[in-house]
Each structure stands twice: as structure tokens, then as C-alpha cells.
């Protein structure tokens, strides 16, 4: 199965007040086949609108060009003013790899867009980020945009600032555009009841460059500025987090809280501009769960916690399905985005597929499904124990047991489809035609790799099962005794899943060419099966001793 190629494009246009212009650009994007417009976020004070859309490499370029053509017709930079730094009608147009594409492929996309934009509209275009190749002095947006639109005419006369594409001449109505490739940039605003000066003072303390006098700020990969929103009668610290793994959202928020408290000004919440990666919010959830000693399992509940702690719905409701990029791209239940159609479908559909006259889905998929149910039963019994007064002395033990069982249940679901996919890849590789020696070598390599995948999927199921026996034993020993049959069924399901996965490892080992790999896989599978048998016997004996 070939992974779909998806690139995100987040162009910033210098118009945030004229709804007709904003809508016209939106319609231009929507008019391109193969592209989904995910978000449109205008700002009257900044006089800027951020668009977010996704599509294939070819489609994303066409959509960005369509939006730019519309902006070229409707936006006049000679009349523009706003609180956000800017240098052009289409100020910046970054491309971000989402799935199935590399940074290098996105660089090609950005350069194609820049070349075509300059050629069609006769405007200057600069490259930044991973696409920049004319020196370190023009890698980042602050470097390129320094002086903004007002100094652009003079800047273009400097040999150091010749555009990558298009004319060096100043185009008054347009200005200049910057395009390139970057990681997910999180545009994040923190709301204060304060003055613009107080907000900016905090921003200077936080941002990486500090006050620009050699004294750096506290946060890395952080750009920040303070401004005042007249239409909302409040100040904001406007932050760009250019690497949220280095400086996560919650870190920026908590650091701003410290400075605001020192100035005796209140922070009343925050907002995310455009879309945000799910992982960045789950980072924040883990932080608050750990800090406050909370017990939260479901992804939905973790997101509710973050929305509350960061005040993300103060200015407008934060709707996860509309604001988290993985949710926007997911079909069906977003919490099952990594699960294929078999695992996501109904039990009846899975049974029907297994019962059909086809080799897949087969025993490997069934083994994964049964194991997932076994782990889920353990989590269920734990949750029917936790928080109940008669077993409250075991709350801590249940908290430690439930989370791994719950996690394993959902981690096993993708294997239902992955087993079928691995089998199909092996069969497809085996059927490749090869009329030359080089083609035969390529076929042999593809078959060998596919054979290993058919072993790794069921072996992964066995590893997941092995990890939860201690937790299931804890539930068996301390959990709600009225649910003992559920623990017993869960143990048998996990053991059956291990047996089913073992059988699939064994039969697929015949196709693995490398003898040393065969021996390693076989040894591990036999060890995991023995541990599953012992684990099941141990759990059942615990239950039996409790009711004896």
C-alpha cells in the first residue's frame, strides 16, 4: 500500500478586514481539485489572514498559485497597515511535509511555486528555511522581512538581497513574497488585560533573540511580539513556536504566567492561530496530568484538559475536529486515525471479511483483534474498580494497571490491517515479473523485505501482549471481584492472541531467507509464547484463589 503524499500550505495574506477579499482567496483555493481548505483565520488588527490547506505536491502548488493570482488582483500594499510585520500581499507561503513526502520534496515544491509565481505575476520572491540556498543571512523570516514593506525598495537594490526569483525592481502594489519549507510552526497568542507595552515587555523576556542587545530571552525557537487588539480591547503576546519539541505550547504559557504575575497583570487565556499538530497538545496534557497528579486515559479528555488549562476557548470555541490537523485529515473517528478500515469497521464486517473466499484477512488479523479485546477487558475491569468506595484502597494500583492495558488495546488495533497489508505486499512482490538480472535482483530484495514484514507484524502483537501480563495480574488480584469472568476471558483472549500470532510467525518464517534472522525471530516467538502461557495460568490462578 503506497502512503498518500500530503503537504500542508499555510500562506499569510496581507488582508484581514475586507471579508470579500478574504472569501475570494478562499474560493480560489477551494476551486483546485485535490486540495482541502482546512482553516481561514483573519485578524483585523494585524490586517492579515492565515489560510491552511493540504493536498498532493502537484495540487498544493496549483492552489497556492490560484490564491496568489486572486490576491494580486485584489490587494494593494500601498494602502496596507497592520500590527503584524509584513513585506508583501502574499507575505509568506510555507510548505510543510505532512505524510508521504520528505523535506527535500517539499523544497522542490516551494521552488516550483516561487519560480511560477515570479514568472506569472512578475514579482520578487525570496526562499527561506530549508529551501534557502543564498547564505545564512537570509534563512529566517525575521532576517528577510527586516525593514518590512517600507524599506523593500531600497533593500532590493542591495546585491545581498537580490530575489531568488523574479525582478529586483520594486512592485508597489505587491511588495515581495517569501516561500520555503519549515517544520510545523505554531502561531500562538496569549491574552492579557494589560497595555501593549506590558505585553511586549513579556514578549521580549521570552523570545529567543531577547531585546536584541546580546541578552537572549528564556525560550528557544520562539519569536514573540506584544501588541494591542482594539477590536477585543485586550493585549496579546503573539508567539511563533518554530520547534514545539524544543519549546512546547504549555512552556510558553507557563513562562508568560510568571512574568505577568510579576507585573500584576492577568492572563485570561490563549488562542492558537490556524491548525496545530495533535502531539503538541498531548505534550501539554501530559504536563498538566503529571503536575496535578491526574488520571486521564481518553485522548478526548486530555484535549479537554488542555483547552481548559490554556484557556483556548476564551475568544472563540476551540473545536478539536476543526483545529487539529490529524483530526481534519482523519476519516471517521479521529481517535482511530492510525487504524485501517478492518480495525475501524464493525465486528460483522470483520467476520464477513474473514469468512470470505480470500486468504486475507486471516489468522493474523484475528489474533490481533482477539488480543486487543483481551487487553480491553482488563482495562474495563480496572475502571470498574477505580474510584469506587469499597475498593478505594486500591486506586493507586488500578491507576498504574489501567493505563497500559487501555493503551495496548488501541495499539493492537492497527495490526488487524497491518497483517493483511504485509501479506498482500509479499504476494505482490512475489508476482513481480523479472526479465533481466537487475530486475531479478530487485525482485528478490523486495520479496525478502516483504517476508520480514509478514513476521514482524505478528511478532509485534506478541510483544504487546507480553507487556500487559503484570497489569492484568494486578487487576485479577485487586480488581472488582464481581467482574472475575471478564478477567478470565481477557486472559484467555490474550493467550489465544499470542498463539495465533505465534502460528503466523512460524508459517511466515519459511519465507525469510536470512538464516540468522530466522533463528532470532523463532527464538523470540517461542519465548513470548511460553511467557503468554505462564501469564495466562498465573492470572487464572489468582482469580480462582480469590473465589475458592
Are 57 and 101 a contacting pair, CB within 8 Å? yes
The yes-or-no answer on residue 301 being catalytic is no
Q: Is 157 exposed, middle or buried (0-12, 13-18, 19+ CB in 10 A)?
A: exposed
The yes-or-no answer on residue 137 being catalytic is no
The catalytic position among 41, 91, 417, 419 is 419
Q: Is 274 left (phi over 0), alpha (psi -120 to 50) or beta?
A: left
CB burial string 99-136: b at 16+ within 10 A, e below: eebeeebbbbbbbbbbebbbeebebbbbbbbbbbeeee
The catalytic position among 84, 200, 250, 406 is 84
Q: Which residue in this structure is represented by grid cell 493585549?
A: 235
Q: How far is CA 262 from the centre of its chain?
A: 35
Helix (H, G, I), strand (E, B), or coil: what is residue 273?
strand
Q: Sign of the CA dihedral 458, 459, 465, 468?
A: negative
Q: Is 181 exposed, middle or buried (0-12, 13-18, 19+ CB in 10 A)?
A: buried
CA separation for the pair 132, 166 (Å, rounded): 15
CA separation for the pair 441, 388 (Å, rounded): 63
CA separation for the pair 463, 456 (Å, rounded): 10
CA separation for the pair 473, 378 (Å, rounded): 9
Helix, strand, coil % over all residues of the chain, rounded to 5? 55, 15, 30
CA separation for the pair 171, 168 (Å, rounded): 9
Strand order in the sheet with 234-241: 222-229, 234-241, 186-192, 267-273
Does a cis peptide bond (omega within 30 degrees of 0) precede residue 20? no
How far lies 506's CA from each of 243, 431, 459, 519, in Å?
44, 22, 10, 11
Are 398 and 478 a contacting pair, CB within 8 Å? yes
Q: What is the DSSP string of 189-249?
A: EEEESS-HHHHHHHHHHHSTTTTSSS---S-TTEEEEEEEETTTTEEEEEEEES-TTTS-H
Local structure of residue 48 (DSSP, 8 states): E
CA separation for the pair 281, 169 (Å, rounded): 44
Are 4 and 80 a contacting pair, CB within 8 Å? no
Catalytic positions, written as ranges = 84, 419
Amino acid at each position: 500500500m503506497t502512503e498518500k503524499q500530503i503537504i500542508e500550505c499555510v500562506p499569510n495574506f496581507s488582508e484581514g478586514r475586507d471579508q470579500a477579499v478574504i472569501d475570494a482567496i478562499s474560493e480560489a483555493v477551494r476551486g483546485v481539485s485535490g486540495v482541502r481548505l482546512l482553516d481561514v483565520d483573519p485578524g483585523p488588527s494585524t490586517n492579515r489572514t492565515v489560510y491552511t490547506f493540504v493536498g498532493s505536491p502537484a495540487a498544493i502548488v496549483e492552489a497556492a498559485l490560484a490564491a496568489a493570482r486572486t490576491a494580486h488582483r485584489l490587494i494593494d500594499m500601498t494602502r496596507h497597515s497592520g500590527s503584524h510585520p509584513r513585506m508583501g500581499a502574499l507575505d509568506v507561503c510555507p510548505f510543510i511535509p505532512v505524510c508521504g513526502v520528505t523535506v527535500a520534496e517539499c523544497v522542490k515544491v516551494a521552488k516550483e511555486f516561487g519560480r511560477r509565481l515570479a514568472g506569472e505575476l512578475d514579482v520578487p520572491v525570496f526562499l527561506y528555511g530549508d529551501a534557502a540556498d543564498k547564505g545564512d543571512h537570509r534563512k529566517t523570516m525575521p532576517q528577510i522581512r527586516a525593514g518590512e514593506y517600507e524599506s523593500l525598495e531600497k533593500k532590493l537594490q542591495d546585491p545581498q538581497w537580490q530575489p531568488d526569483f523574479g525582478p529586483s525592481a520594486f512592485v508597489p502594489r505587491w511588495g515581495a513574497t517569501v516561500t520555503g519549507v519549515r517544520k510545523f510552526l505554531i502561531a500562538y497568542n496569549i491574552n492579557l488585560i494589560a497595555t501593549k507595552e506590558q505585553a511586549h515587555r513579556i514578549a521580549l523576556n521570552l523570545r529567543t533573540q531577547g531585546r536584541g542587545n546580546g541578552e537572549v530571552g528564556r525560550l528557544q525557537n520562539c519569536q514573540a511580539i506584544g501588541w494591542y487588539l482594539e477590536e477585543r480591547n485586550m493585549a496579546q503576546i503573539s508567539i511563533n513556536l518554530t520547534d514545539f519539541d524544543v519549546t512546547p505550547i504549555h512552556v510558553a504559557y507557563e513562562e508568560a504566567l510568571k512574568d505577568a504575575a510579576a507585573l500584576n497583570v492577568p492572563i485570561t487565556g490563549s488562542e492558537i492561530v490556524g491548525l496545530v499538530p495533535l502531539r503538541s497538545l498531548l505534550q501539554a496534557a501530559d504536563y498538566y496530568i503529571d503536575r496535578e497528579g491526574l488520571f486521564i486515559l481518553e485522548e478526548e479528555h486530555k484535549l479537554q484538559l488542555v483547552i481548559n488549562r490554556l484557556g483556548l476557548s476564551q475568544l472563540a470555541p476551540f473545536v478539536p475536529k476543526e483545529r487539529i490537523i490529524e483530526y481534519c485529515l482523519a476519516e471517521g473517528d479521529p481517535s482511530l486515525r492510525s487504524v485501517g478500515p478492518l480495525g475501524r469497521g464493525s465486528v460483522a464486517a470483520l467476520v464477513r471479511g474473514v469468512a470470505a473466499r480470500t486468504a486475507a484477512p486471516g489468522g493474523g488479523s484475528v489474533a490481533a483483534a482477539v488480543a486487543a479485546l483481551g487487553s480491553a477487558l482488563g482495562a474495563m475491569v480496572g475502571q470498574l474498580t477505580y474510584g469506587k468506595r469499597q475498593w478505594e484502597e486500591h486506586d493507586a494500583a488500578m491507576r498504574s494497571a489501567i493505563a497500559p492495558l487501555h493503551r495496548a488495546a488501541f495499539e493492537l488495533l492497527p495490526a488487524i490491517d497491518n497483517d493483511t497489508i504485509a501479506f498482500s505486499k509479499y504476494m505482490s512482490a512475489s508476482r513481480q515479473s523479472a526479465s533481466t538480472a537487475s530486475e531479478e535482483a530487485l525482485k528478490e530484495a523486495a520479496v525478502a523485505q516483504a517476508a520480514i514484514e509478514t513476521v514482524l507484524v505478528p511478532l509485534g502483537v506478541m510483544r504487546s501482549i507480553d507487556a500487559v501480563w503484570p497489569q492484568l495480574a494486578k487487576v485479577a488480584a485487586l480488581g472488582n471481584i464481581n467482574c472475575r469472568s471478564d478477567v478470565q476471558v481477557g486472559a484467555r483472549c490474550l493467550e489465544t492472541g499470542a498463539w495465533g500470532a505465534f502460528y503466523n510467525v512460524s508459517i511466515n518464517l519459511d519465507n525469510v531467507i536470512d538464516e540468522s534472522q530466522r533463528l532470532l525471530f523463532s527464538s523470540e516467538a517461542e519465548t513470548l509464547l511460553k511467557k503468554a502461557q505462564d501469564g495466562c495460568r498465573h492470572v487464572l490462578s489468582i482469580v480462582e484463589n480469590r473465589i475458592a
